[in-house]
Amino acid sequence: MRAARLMAVDQENEMSAPTTTGATVWLTGLPSAGKTTIAYALAERLRGEGRRVEVLDGDEIREFLSSGLGFSREDRHTNVQRIGFVSELLASHGVTVLVPVIAPYGDSREAVRKRHQREGTPYLEVHVATPVEVCSERDVKGLYAKQAAGELSGLTGVDDPYEAPADPDLRIETHRNSVQESAAEVRLLLSERGLL
């Protein structure tokens, strides 16, 4: 009797499980390129459509998951792999995961893509290709000003390398598009790939 009830509960859980496919959308680009702004705009839109969405903000991850890491190449790689693990885990459970994280090195991003491929979890790379001149004018966190004043070194795209994706799934030019237009481009990509 107990076994029959447990089987019925299992079947009910399977039927009520989400049928949508999760995916990781990694938005890479320079500091102040617009990655986080696009991610939150898209998240709001997708939630309004009834989708399960999470944003893994790079600054929040640094504070809560990678607080002991610095900004050496090795530490940046470790940070990206941690984020990649969490994003794949969420995406494998039907969540659309938006990851606005610089991830400056191609090999680090490729390792995350391969983790997703091994697990059979969809992964899309979006290059938020805003020129450094535009990013430095925006300077959302004051990083470019600090670097120019000699108060900061190792700023990605200025005195530390940024390896732009050679063949991303999508390239967005935020200096030519509005936030909503950019978010719509990412949503269209998800739709075209059958992930909405």
Kindly report, residue by residue over 62-85, the tens digit of the pLDDT. Answer: 888 888 898 899 999 999 999 999
Sheet hosting strand 53-55, strand order edge to edge:
53-55, 96-100, 23-28, 123-128, 170-172
- Annotation-wise, does 36 bind a ligand? yes
User: How does residue 11 score in pLDDT terms, banded at 50, 70 and 90?
Assistant: low
- Annotation-wise, does 35 bind a ligand? yes
- Annotation-wise, does 33 bind a ligand? yes
- Annotation-wise, does 98 bind a ligand? no
Q: What is the average per-residue pLDDT within 149-153?
A: 86
Say which residue, 15 or 152, is predicted with more confidence. Answer: 152
Angle at 44 between CA 43 and CA 49, to 5 degrees: 95
Residue 151: DSSP 8-state:
S
Residue 100: DSSP 8-state:
E
| Biggest alpha carbon–alpha carbon distance for the chain | 74
> Average pLDDT over the chain, rounded to whole?
90
Using DSSP, state whether 27 is helix, strand or coil. Answer: strand
Query: How far is Cα 36 from Cα 57, in angstroms, rounded to an integer?
Result: 7
- Annotation-wise, does 142 bind a ligand? no
Q: Which of 48-52, 70-74, 98-102, 126-130 has the lowest mean pLDDT?
A: 70-74
- Write down how long the chain is: 196
- pTM for the complete prediction? 0.87
For residue 152, how many other CB atoms are within 10 A of its CB? 15
Residue 86 CB-half CA count within 13 A: 18
- Annotation-wise, does 29 bind a ligand? yes
User: How does residue 148 score in pLDDT terms, banded at 50, 70 and 90?
Assistant: confident
- Annotation-wise, does 31 bind a ligand? yes
- Annotation-wise, does 30 bind a ligand? yes
